[in-house]
């Protein structure tokens, strides 16, 4: 019993301590729970932060993706614009010794009257792009970009010539206009930089006077100004080059090859005559010949001769041939015969052969180019494009005393097709301008 009391007494004495221990244990347990709870909350916060970070990262990726997409769209738009850019191709010959050079631009600018008479050719063109006020502005902007020394225009009406003349005069150009005879109101114009050239002579041809329809041609004899030469360049200071510039818009009618040949014959003969008159000076002839590079008319200009009886009169320009001009024995035997009147119009006599006195070279064939923009002969694949036609009819020819330094390339066919037809937002005519830089060959002697 005593032991039992002692035990009770001892237990009683230990009770406060035990109680404290229990309290301490409970408090310790609570602290551990709080720590765990805090750790759990921390983990939750971290997980939430990571989740937010992931969402932010995902959002950032989406933003970057959108930004990349916008950049791609911008690149595509730039690429589309680049497709409409025209480039110069340079000769591989060393042209550094040629001091005097001229940039020639030839451009059929699409007369308003012609466009109005043939609306079916421009059915896919927006009306605002056909408006002369709009076309006038982009035509002049385009021409300025080529920095021409001499500019030859075809299919320009006299009132629109006045419009262009006012604008181009501010850029230092002077110009002459020759109106077409008959009921049509378009014609040809030649402009030149007045600080580069002095006009020595001018001539015109009205083909109607010779029974060759109402088309016209014009010529200017231009002399390079002496003050262009550097004062210390004694080798060239005594030389002042002159040049004959001819501009023509040949009859369109595909069936009248006799008249087309007659117009070109007279045109080239007059160019030669002026060259001789002013001391055998170089010649440049430009224009819309309404003839393909595979045609008999092209052959005549390039080779200086043609036997008319070997060709069908209705295929002289190649316009009616779907795959270019091809000579056929069948055609030769069946319709190769020409009447005396037709031969007279074409050759100026009743002879079967046709000749001209100039030895001419195409500026484009003188500088090799890419098959994307050139044909097998070296001419542009396309200089005119609308609903009814796509091909080359515009040319620049020069005599051998001039050397091509560079030529302006046409647009690739896919780029033209994207426009749906010319004129367009970027181009003010249904033709594309052709251009080259020519150097006087004897500068390097």
Q: Can you give the residue ranges of every domain in the chain?
A: 1-83, 89-444
DSSP secondary structure letter of residue 122:
G
> Is pLDDT of 80 > 50?
no
Architecture of domain 89-444: 4-Layer Sandwich (3.60)
CB neighbours (10 Å) of residue 322? 4
> Is pLDDT of 87 > 90?
yes
Three-state SS at 155: strand
Burial 22-55, CB ≥16 within 10 A → b, else e: eeeeeeeeeeeeeeeeeeeeeeeeeeeeeeeeee
Residue 443 confidence (pLDDT): 59
Residue 262 confidence (pLDDT): 98
The whole-number average pLDDT for the span 357-368 is 98
* Nearest 10 degrees: Cα torsion 278, 279, 281, 285: 50
How far is 4 from 12, CA to CA, in rounded Å? Answer: 12
Whether 154 and 172 have beta carbons less than 8 Å apart is answered as no
Find the range with the poorest average confidence among 40-44, 105-109, 317-321: 40-44
The residue behind tokens 């301590």 is 17
* Nearest 10 degrees: Cα torsion 56, 62, 65, 70: -110
> Is pLDDT of 55 > 70?
no
Reported confidence tier of residue 27, pLDDT bands at 50, 70, 90 = low
Q: What is the pTM of this model?
A: 0.79
Higher pLDDT, 325 or 103: 103
The β-bridge relationship of strands 197-206 and 216-224 is: antiparallel
Q: What are phi and psi of 179, to 5 degrees?
A: -80, 145
> Is pLDDT of 38 > 50?
no
The whole-number average pLDDT for the span 94-122 is 94
Residues 131-158: tens digit of each pLDDT: 999 999 999 999 999 999 999 999 999 8
Residue 159 confidence (pLDDT): 87
Of 390, 379, 380, which Cα lies nearest the Cα of 421? 390
Find the range with the poorest average confidence among 287-291, 349-353, 391-395: 349-353
Higher pLDDT, 101 or 231: 101
Q: Is the dihedral of CA 92, 96, 97, 98 positive or negative?
A: positive
Residues 109-131: tens digit of each pLDDT: 999 999 999 999 999 999 999 99
Find the range with the poorest average confidence among 180-189, 315-324, 390-399: 315-324
């Amino acid at each position: 019993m005593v032991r039992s009391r002692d035990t009770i007494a001892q237990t009683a004495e230990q009770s406060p301590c035990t109680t404290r221990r229990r309290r301490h244990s409970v408090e310790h347990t609570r602290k551990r729970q709080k720590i765990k709870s805090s750790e759990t909350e921390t983990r939750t916060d971290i997980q939430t932060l990571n989740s937010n970070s992931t969402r932010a990262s995902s959002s950032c990726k989406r933003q970057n993706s959108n930004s990349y997409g916008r950049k791609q769209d911008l690149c595509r738009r730039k690429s589309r614009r680049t497709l409409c850019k025209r480039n110069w191709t340079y000769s591989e010959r060393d042209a550094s010794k040629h001091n005097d050079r001229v940039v020639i631009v030839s451009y059929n600018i699409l007369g308003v009257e012609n466009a109005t008479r043939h609306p079916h050719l421009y059915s896919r063109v927006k009306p605002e792009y056909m408006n002369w006020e709009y076309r006038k502005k982009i035509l002049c902007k385009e021409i300025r970009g080529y920095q021409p020394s001499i500019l030859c225009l075809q299919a320009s009406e006299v009132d629109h010539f006045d419009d262009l003349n006012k604008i181009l005069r501010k850029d230092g150009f002077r110009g002459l206009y020759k109106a077409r005879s008959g009921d049509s109101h378009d014609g040809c114009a030649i402009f030149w930089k007045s600080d580069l050239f002095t006009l020595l002579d001018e001539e015109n041809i009205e083909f109607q006077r010779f029974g060759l329809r109402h088309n016209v041609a014009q010529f200017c004899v231009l002399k390079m100004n002496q003050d262009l030469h550097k004062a210390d360049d004694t080798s060239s200071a005594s030389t002042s080059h002159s040049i004959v510039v001819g501009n023509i818009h040949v009859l369109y009618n595909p069936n009248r090859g006799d008249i087309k040949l007659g117009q070109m014959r007279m045109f080239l003969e007059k160019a030669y005559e002026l060259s001789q008159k002013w001391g055998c000076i170089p010649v440049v002839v430009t224009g819309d010949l309404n003839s393909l590079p595979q045609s008999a008319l092209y052959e005549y200009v390039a080779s200086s001769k043609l036997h008319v009886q070997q060709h069908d009169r209705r295929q002289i320009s190649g316009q009616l041939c779907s795959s270019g001009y091809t000579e056929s024995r069948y055609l030769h035997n069946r319709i190769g015969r020409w009447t005396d009147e037709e031969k007279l119009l074409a050759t100026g006599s009743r002879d079967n052969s046709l000749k001209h006195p100039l030895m001419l070279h195409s500026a484009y064939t003188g500088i090799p180019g890419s098959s994307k923009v050139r044909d097998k002969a070296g001419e542009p694949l396309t200089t005119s494009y609308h609903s009814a036609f796509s091909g080359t009819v515009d040319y620049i020819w020069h005599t051998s005393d001039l050397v091509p330094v560079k030529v302006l390339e046409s647009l690739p066919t896919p780029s033209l097709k994207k426009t749906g037809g010319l004129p367009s937002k970027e181009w003010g005519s249904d033709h594309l301008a052709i251009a080259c830089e020519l150097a006087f060959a004897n500068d390097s002697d």
